[in-house]
Amino acid sequence: MPPCGFEHSFLNRMYKAMDQDRLGIHVSDIVHCLRRSYLNKVDPQVEAPHEMLAKFYGLAQHDYLSQSNGDHGEMDVEYNGLVGRVDLFKDGILRDYKTTKKIYVDLLPYGEHAMQQNVYAFMLDQMGHEVKRILLVYISKFGPTECSKCKIPVEVGIFGEMACPKCGSTPRNSTFGVKTIEVMKENPVFMEKYINERKTILEKAMGDGVVAGPIPDGEPSWECKYCKHVCPFRDGGNGDDWG
């Protein structure tokens, strides 16, 4: 048994799931920090098993939900060299599943999730698949919200509210472990400009294997603390000392 506690067959399956072909520029590359996307390609960092668990849970859940939706599950998309894969597109509705530790309803959508789905929607439109609505489905790994006092999950109260069945309190941001929100579809002219500009910055940085352009600027956000690369932004700096 490895000292990390992870059994060999589990480690093997997890690393195989993560070791996917990432040639080309993907949607996730342009919606997140361009510096991180660039460094992920030229200097990929090895992640420890415990650091990969959250991603592995997400992949497993995506695979199950996509398989359950048959022919409508996971669809490859492409636009002008940009590639990606949507979770579910059916009857004009684009859906994406997001796993998270906890769901804070008043903070949704998280991070770049709305922009990511708008990029997918634009790509689908360009491929002749009109997107009429965009839905983000957040799934909590911890299940329903628990009452902080009684430590039991909320249930539907007598007035339809989410309440603790024991003390009757109504915890803030309560969900039954899933929350679906609708995302506004952005103007296609704006999306085309956004996609082409960010894709071009990344392409120039990558170069042609001989001559490369400048490293993209860092874009500090809450994701910096999870970044594996050495960058001033990760430790709360402003990036001015980046070489």
* pLDDT tens-digit profile, the chain (243 residues): 667 777 777 777 777 766 655 668 999 999 999 999 998 888 887 777 767 777 777 777 767 676 655 555 678 999 999 999 999 999 999 999 998 888 999 999 998 999 999 999 999 999 999 999 999 999 998 899 999 999 999 998 888 889 999 999 999 899 999 999 999 999 999 999 999 999 999 999 988 655 577 889 888 888 888 788 877 665 544 444 333
Instruction: Please answer whether residues 136 and 181 qualify as being in contact, where contact means their C-beta atoms are separated by less than 8 angstroms.
Output: yes
Which of 56, 50, 140, 145 has its CA nearest to residue 98?
Answer: 140
* Global confidence as pTM: 0.84
Q: Enumerate the CATH 3.90.320.10 domain ranges in the chain, comma separated.
A: 8-142+177-235
Q: Please give the Cα distance from 180 to 177 (Å, whole number).
A: 10
Q: Take residue 165 and report the two structure tokens written for it.
A: 């069945």
Residues 100, 97: Cα–Cα separation, whole Å: 10
Half-sphere exposure of 213 (CA within 13 A, CB side): 12
pLDDT of residue 237: 46
What's the confidence (pLDDT) of residue 203? 92
**Residue 11's pLDDT is what?**
74
Single-letter amino acid code for the residue at 26 = H
CATH architecture of residue range(s) 8-142+177-235: Alpha-Beta Complex (3.90)
Q: Which residues sit opposite 178 in a β-bridge? A: 139
Q: Checking phi first, is residue 145 left (phi over 0); if not, alpha (psi -120 to 50) or beta?
A: beta
> In whole angstroms, what is the distance from residue 177 CA to residue 83 CA?
31
Per-residue model confidence (pLDDT) at position 69? 56
Torsions phi, psi for 170 (to 5 deg): -120, 90
Is the preceding omega at residue 153 within 30 degrees of 0, hence cis? Answer: no
pLDDT value at residue 210: 54
Q: Output the pLDDT for position 179.
A: 96
